[in-house]
Amino acid sequence: MSDVIDNQKDSRFELAVDGAMAVAEYRIAGDTIYFTHTETPWALQGRGIASALMRGALTSARARGLKIVPRCSFVADYIAKHPEFQS
């Protein structure tokens, strides 16, 4: 599995696995990052890929000092299950 990449040009975090791409789309306003949509191709589902994507994306956002606002149910559920990303 490769590393999570912040594709700032397309405003999304990406995780490429086995020729497919999982993405977490966002928008930044001021010091806040809004996660608006996540998508994992069928071929990657059930393998923890989306969780790895979110762990990388949230870690990156925190390292940049951004406040995190989930506008996507997957991101909200992930944060609820991982207290280290709650604030």
We report the CATH number of the domain holding residue 21 as: 3.40.630.30
Please give the single-letter amino acid code of residue 9.
K
- Percent of the chain beyond pLDDT 70? 98
Kindly state the DSSP code that residue 56 receives in the 8-state scheme. Answer: H
Average pLDDT over residues 14-39: 97
What is the pLDDT, as a whole number, of residue 85? Answer: 86
Going by pLDDT thresholds of 50, 70 and 90, the confidence category of residue 19 is very high
- Domain count for the chain, please give it: 1
* Rounded Cα gap, residues 11 and 13, in angstroms: 7
Average pLDDT over residues 44-73: 95
* Rounded Cα gap, residues 86 and 6, in angstroms: 21
Kindly state the DSSP code that residue 72 receives in the 8-state scheme. Answer: S
Bridge-based pairing of strands 12-17 and 5-7 is antiparallel
How does the average pLDDT of the chain come out, rounded?
94
Give the domain extent around 55: 5-85
Tell me the backbone φ, ψ of residue 85, rounded to 5 degrees. -105, 5
Going by pLDDT thresholds of 50, 70 and 90, the confidence category of residue 31 is very high
Q: What is the pTM of this model?
A: 0.92
Going by pLDDT thresholds of 50, 70 and 90, the confidence category of residue 1 is low
Nearest to 58 by CA among 74, 42, 40: 74
What is the pLDDT, as a whole number, of residue 35? Answer: 98
